[in-house]
């Protein structure tokens, strides 16, 4: 098995990608290196030392510069990198310069990558530009698939892992076509989301979400997905949450050449900074003023090293979030870092039902979930809860159903002072079915209140009106389904924002049933 999934959260996963040169733990970032410039900028050994055990380089550029000599040296000899080396076929050059200026023979470049010993290699696809017309995008899909079929006999049985890029760009139906037809072609162990580079450069993250989800929905879940050009730490958690397993980019050095300093929350121009908000080997030794006084090449090298540290740190933070089941909280936090990312997160929420199906139901360690605002309402744990809670309720005739307000400071709810007072006053009997109403969850049967995450969550006392309204809609649905010869008692507490007696009475009036009573119970 060349790809083994070790842990999951949302659609993200930690995995082991086995290559002939060693194992790559995913999610993984492949820094782009140019073997003919790299030593002067960030030496390959330094990239390895920072923590990247894998890189990607360009087989087309190597072929143009060294030709057959590279076959003798091997790709590791050419690059000077001792870890896993992935090669691209020159598609980026096609994207930038066009097919009129760049000519790449699909079979020839595949054979060349095999002969130089690439661990992971990409076929010569035709990228879809973000400004392509529909017909141009369709042509890139059709031609890439044709090439994938043409080289399929040459890659089967190879010890190189071969990557098939999925084209179609901003046209979801073409991305779906590319993925559906691509998965049927033999010989490919990985897939890549093709041509997002220009979209990412424009911070159009919303489009990338749609591209990734469309491709993932139509590709085998057992195989890893790569995102070309995913080089900013800002997007890593969200892309991983959608199921992206690896990334590549030259952003770390391209940004550095322009004195652009990466953080998890965005990018700054170095001369706009008074302090360096990082503790890496560069930021702990220099101030912004000291860096600006260095010569251009040395400054670019140091900023690039910092940028690599930031990317590596965000990957580790994302993996930790997966292990702890906190990936949703991380992407929710990151969504507040940039308006474009918030827009992308809203797009992500549209697909949360699909994400929920891929989400791990049980984690080895149960950590309390943090609920912040209306975006938290779409967490996969809550989606599952709201979908299943009323299904598992066996509503019986002649029974009394008690709706009791829950409060996040008193968990589990069966031990709440409010329930104790209701029992003491004779409002609730042991034979009654007690149901907790509380925002985010809406309705929780008391008999499961000790199960995860009903006693393992934190939420604010004051919540958005939308969350309370959502809860009221679920209360109305429940009351409609309770048999007419049963009784309903709604316990209210005006000190809870979601349990105002006057408002709840209006909610019941909208349902139009007569078997509902109210009792105000508050604990000082």
CB 113 within 8 A of CB 89: yes
Rounded to two decimals, the pTM is 0.90
Whether residue 203 sits in one domain with residue 57: yes
Whether residue 494 sits in one domain with residue 470: yes
pLDDT at 229: 87
Q: What is the mean pLDDT of residues 73-80?
A: 95
3-class secondary-structure state, position 459: coil
Whether residue 207 sits in one domain with residue 62: yes
Residue whose structure tokens are 């470049």: 109
280 marked among binding-site residues: yes
**Which residue from 183, 181, 239, 186 is spatially nearest to 210, judged by alpha carbons?**
239
Contacts of 423 (CB under 8 A, 6+ apart): none
**Which residue from 110, 230, 102, 210 is spatially nearest to 160, judged by alpha carbons?**
110
Instruction: Evaluate if residue 95 carries a pLDDT over 90.
Output: no
The domain in which residue 166 lies consists of: 3-252+331-357
Whether residue 479 sits in one domain with residue 348: no
Whether residue 48 sits in one domain with residue 72: yes
Q: What CATH code is carried by the domain that includes residue 196?
A: 3.20.20.105
- As a whole number of angstroms, the distance between CA 18 and CA 460 comes to 45
Q: What is the mean pLDDT of the chain?
A: 91
**Which residue from 59, 38, 57 is spatially nearest to 47, judged by alpha carbons?**
38
3-class secondary-structure state, position 170: coil
522 marked among binding-site residues: no
Whether residue 108 sits in one domain with residue 7: yes
pLDDT digits (tens, 9 = 90+) for 57-75: 999 999 989 999 999 999 9
**Which of 82-96, 221-235, 383-397 reaches the highest mean pLDDT?**
221-235
Question: Per-residue confidence at 203, pLDDT binned at 50, 70, 90?
Answer: confident
Whether residue 199 sits in one domain with residue 345: yes
In a domain? residue 296: no
3-class secondary-structure state, position 355: helix
pLDDT at 511: 86
pLDDT at 365: 57
125 marked among binding-site residues: yes
In SS3 terms, 403-422 reads as EEECCCCCCCHHHCHHHHHH
278 marked among binding-site residues: yes
Specify which residues 194 forms β-bridges with: none
Contacts of 104 (CB under 8 A, 6+ apart): 60, 89, 90, 94, 124
Residue whose structure tokens are 């389904």: 481
Pick the residue with more confidence: 442 or 101? 442
Residues labelled catalytic: 88
Q: Provide the 10 A C-beta neighbour count for residue 72.
A: 11
Whether residue 456 sits in one domain with residue 337: no
Contacts of 337 (CB under 8 A, 6+ apart): 234, 264, 265, 266
Whether residue 373 sits in one domain with residue 341: no
Whether residue 150 sits in one domain with residue 23: yes
């Amino acid at each position: 098995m060349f790809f083994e999934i070790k842990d999951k959260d949302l659609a993200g996963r930690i995995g082991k990608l086995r290559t002939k040169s060693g194992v790559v733990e995913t999610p993984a970032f492949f820094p782009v290196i140019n073997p003919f410039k790299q030593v002067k900028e960030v030496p390959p050994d330094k990239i390895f030392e920072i923590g990247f055990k894998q890189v990607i380089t360009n087989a087309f550029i190597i072929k143009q510069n060294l030709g057959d000599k590279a076959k003798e040296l091997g790709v590791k000899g050419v690059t000077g990198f001792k870890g896993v080396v992935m090669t691209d076929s020159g598609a980026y050059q096609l994207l930038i310069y066009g097919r009129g200026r760049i000519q790449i023979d699909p079979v020839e470049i595949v054979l060349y990558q095999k002969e130089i010993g690439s661990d992971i290699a990409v076929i010569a696809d035709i990228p879809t530009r973000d400004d392509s017309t529909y017909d141009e995008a369709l042509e890139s899909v059709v031609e890439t698939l044709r090439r994938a079929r043409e080289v399929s006999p040459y890659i089967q049985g190879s010890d190189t892992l071969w990557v098939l890029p999925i084209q179609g760009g901003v046209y979801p139906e073409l991305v779906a076509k590319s993925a559906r037809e691509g998965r049927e072609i033999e010989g490919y162990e990985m897939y890549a989301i093709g041509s997002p580079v220009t979209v990412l450069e424009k911070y159009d993250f919303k489009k990338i979400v749609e591209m990734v989800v469309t491709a993932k929905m139509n590709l085998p879940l057992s195989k890893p997905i790569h995102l070309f050009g995913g080089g900013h730490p800002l997007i890593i958690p969200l892309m991983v949450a959608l199921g992206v397993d690896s990334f590549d980019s030259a952003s770390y050095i391209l940004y550095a050449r322009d004195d652009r300093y990466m953080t998890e929350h965005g990018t700054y121009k170095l001369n706009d900074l008074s302090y360096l908000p990082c503790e890496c080997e560069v930021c702990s030794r220099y101030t912004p003023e000291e860096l600006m006084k260095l010569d251009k090449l040395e400054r670019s090298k140091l900023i690039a090293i910092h940028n690599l540290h930031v990317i590596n740190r965000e990957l580790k933070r994302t993996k930790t979030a997966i292990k702890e089941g906190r990936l949703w909280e991380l992407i929710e936090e990151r969504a507040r870092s940039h308006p474009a990312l918030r827009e992308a997160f809203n797009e992500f929420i549209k697909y949360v039902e699909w994400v929920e199906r891929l989400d791990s139901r049980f984690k080895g360690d149960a950590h309390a979930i943090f609920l912040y605002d209306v975006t938290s309402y779409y967490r996969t744990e809550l989606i599952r809860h709201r979908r299943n809670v009323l299904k598992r309720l066996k509503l019986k005739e002649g029974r009394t159903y008690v709706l009791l307000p829950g409060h996040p400071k008193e968990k589990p709810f069966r031990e709440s002072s409010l329930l104790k007072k209701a029992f003491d006053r004779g409002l609730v009997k042991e034979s009654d079915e007690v149901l907790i109403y509380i925002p985010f969850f809406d309705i929780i049967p008391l008999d499961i209140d000790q199960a995860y995450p009903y006693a393992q969550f934190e939420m604010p006392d004051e919540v958005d009106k939308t969350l309370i309204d959502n809860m009221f809609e679920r209360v109305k649905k429940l009351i409609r389904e309770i048999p007419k010869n049963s009784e309903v008692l709604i316990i209210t507490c005006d000190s809870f924002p979601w349990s105002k007696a006057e408002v709840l009475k209006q909610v019941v009036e909208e349902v139009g049933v007569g078997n509902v009573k109210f009792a105000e119970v508050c604990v000082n």
